Amino acid sequence: MFAFTLEKTVGNARAGRMQTAHGEALTPMFMPVGTQATVKALDTQDVLGARPQVILANTYHLYLRPGAELISRFGGVHGFMGYDKPLLTDSGGFQVFSLGEQMERKGPTDLPRTKISENGVEFFSYLDGSKHFFTPEKSIEIQRHLGADIIMAFDECLPDAADEPTARASVDRTHRWAQRCVTWWAEHDRQSVDLSTPGATGHYQALFGIIQGSQHRHLRELAAQQILSLPFDGIALGGETIGYNMPKTVEIMDWLRDVLPTDKPRYAMGLGRDPQNVIDAVQAGYDMFDCVAPTRLARNGALYFGRLNTTKSTWTWDSPYNKGRLQIGNHEFAEDHAPIQLDCDCYTCQQGYSRAYLHHLYRTQELTYYRLASIHNVRTMVRLTEELRQVILAE
């Protein structure tokens, strides 16, 4: 089953624990993103070594390749990647919209557009241009094949700058899609215990609803009421704005603070590029975060360096480096004997790999660099949420 217990609140910051089909997960938590059923450059043992509470896989990518039904025959994403701890899949909505738009901008000019209708979304694969159609029911069915412990309702991800009429129509449609997700989920044995049913996972899949509404206060509030009227296990905040435009993200969180129930987990989708973003969102009352940035930044030579400071009422990520990360390709590290961060408990720093060695691997584009750098950045974000949890529990 799924359960969430709020353990302690300090200001708006919360510490809690959730029970999933694959065990307990503590909040606040940063969830590394395993887009293609792998956190880029890391194998499953590396992921376990970073000690995340939950990891995320992308429905859209796995549906297109290798296919959700194939993964189902391996016991879902858990069996496919040999990971026996809590997993979350997104609905595919974000990629359907964002990759569809990218193809319109970069792809051949005769490429058909992503088409939204009441029934769902017609889109074209970024891999081969083939045509596909996602409905709310289809998204849940695919996620059932993938078998994650937490699955997401199919929504329309609104751009940062969506105008009011566009956003209003979209919020209402996302509400109707959310109702259809709930209906399909309830009618198709949401506990998925009947293994004779195609796609059945043998365990309960918690379903989260997503609040959209772009930057319009009344629409965010309306969307929250709509999502809260349905029996979701958790509540997510979605849209391009979240995690991308941090001042607005925190403002939206403030608008909804008194609207959201305290007994359900709150998930800010796509938030977690910088440690400070996670700190700000925790202080705004959110519990779960995910972002591809830690591994992407690592591959681009940006390694997190800093420490959580909770001595003032506004908690901060203190670092001598710009944006809280050092650029390992810089000449200053060419003969630096120190690990990335001396008091970091990640595998890379604990093994004593020097900045000079990582600088060399980065400059020569050696594959080992991507692994060692990604391990450090992922563990740093996971550890940050562990430290935030300790601070909340200790107050």
Residue 316: CB atoms within 10 Å: 17
- String of DSSP letters for 86-97: -EEE--SHHHHH
- Which one of the spans 165-173, 212-220, 290-298, 369-377 is the region binding Zn ion (CB under 5 A)? 369-377
Mask for 299-338, x = binds Zn ion (CB under 5 A): ----------------------------------------
DSSP 8-state code for residue 209: E
Instruction: Name residues contacting Zn ion, limited to 53-92 (CB under 5 A).
Output: none
Task: Exactly one of 90, 149, 155, 274 is catalytic; name it.
Answer: 90
Contact positions with Zn ion (CB under 5 A) in 237-256: none
Nearest-approach distance from CB 319 to Zn ion, in angstroms: 14
Tell me which residue has tokens 């008091």.
343
Q: What is the DSSP letter of 333?
A: G
220 or 376: CB nearest Zn ion:
376
- Cα 264 to its chain centre, rounded Å, is 17
Specify whether the CB–CB gap between 243 and 192 falls below 8 A.
no
Tell whether residue 376 is a contact of Zn ion (CB under 5 A). Answer: yes
- What whole-number distance in Å separates Cα of residue 21 and Cα of residue 351? 34
Residue (47 or 153) nearer to Zn ion, CB: 47
**Among 87, 344, 384, 388, interactor with Zn ion by CB under 5 A:** 344
Closest approach of Zn ion to the CB of residue 85, in Å: 21
Q: Decide if 290 is catalytic.
A: yes
Residue 167 contacts Zn ion per CB under 5 A: no
Strand, coil or helix: 8: strand
Shortest Å, Cβ 315 to Zn ion: 21
* SS3 assignment, position 46: helix
Nearest CB to Zn ion, comparing residues 138 and 359: 359
Judged by beta carbon, residue 15 or residue 340, the one nearer Zn ion is: 340
* Residues 98-104: contacts with CB under 8 Å, at least 24 apart: 98/157, 99/60, 99/123, 99/126, 100/124, 102/126
Q: Which of the ranges 143-151, 202-210, 214-222, 374-382 carries the binding residues for Zn ion, by CB under 5 A?
A: 374-382
Nearer to Zn ion, 242 or 382 (CB): 382
Beta bridge partners of 209: 235
Could you say whether residue 282 binds Zn ion (CB under 5 A)?
no
> Least distance (Å) from Zn ion to the CB of residue 282?
21
H or E element, residue 294: helix 293-299
Count the site residues for Zn ion by CB under 5 A.
Answer: 6
**Closer of 32 and 285 to Zn ion (Cβ):** 32
**Residue choice 346, 378, 382, 384 for contact with Zn ion (CB under 5 A):** 346
Let me know: does 151 contact 88? Beta carbons within 8 Å.
yes
| E strand spans, the chain | 3-10, 13-20, 23-27, 29-34, 55-57, 87-89, 115-116, 121-124, 131-134, 150-152, 206-211, 234-237, 266-268, 288-291, 302-304, 307-309, 316-318, 325-327
Tell the smallest beta-carbon distance from residue 250 to Zn ion (Å): 28
Considering the rule CB under 5 A, would residue 349 count as an interface residue with Zn ion?
Answer: yes
Residues annotated as catalytic (active site), given as ranges: 90, 290
Residues in contact with Zn ion by CB under 5 A are 340, 344, 346, 348-349, 376
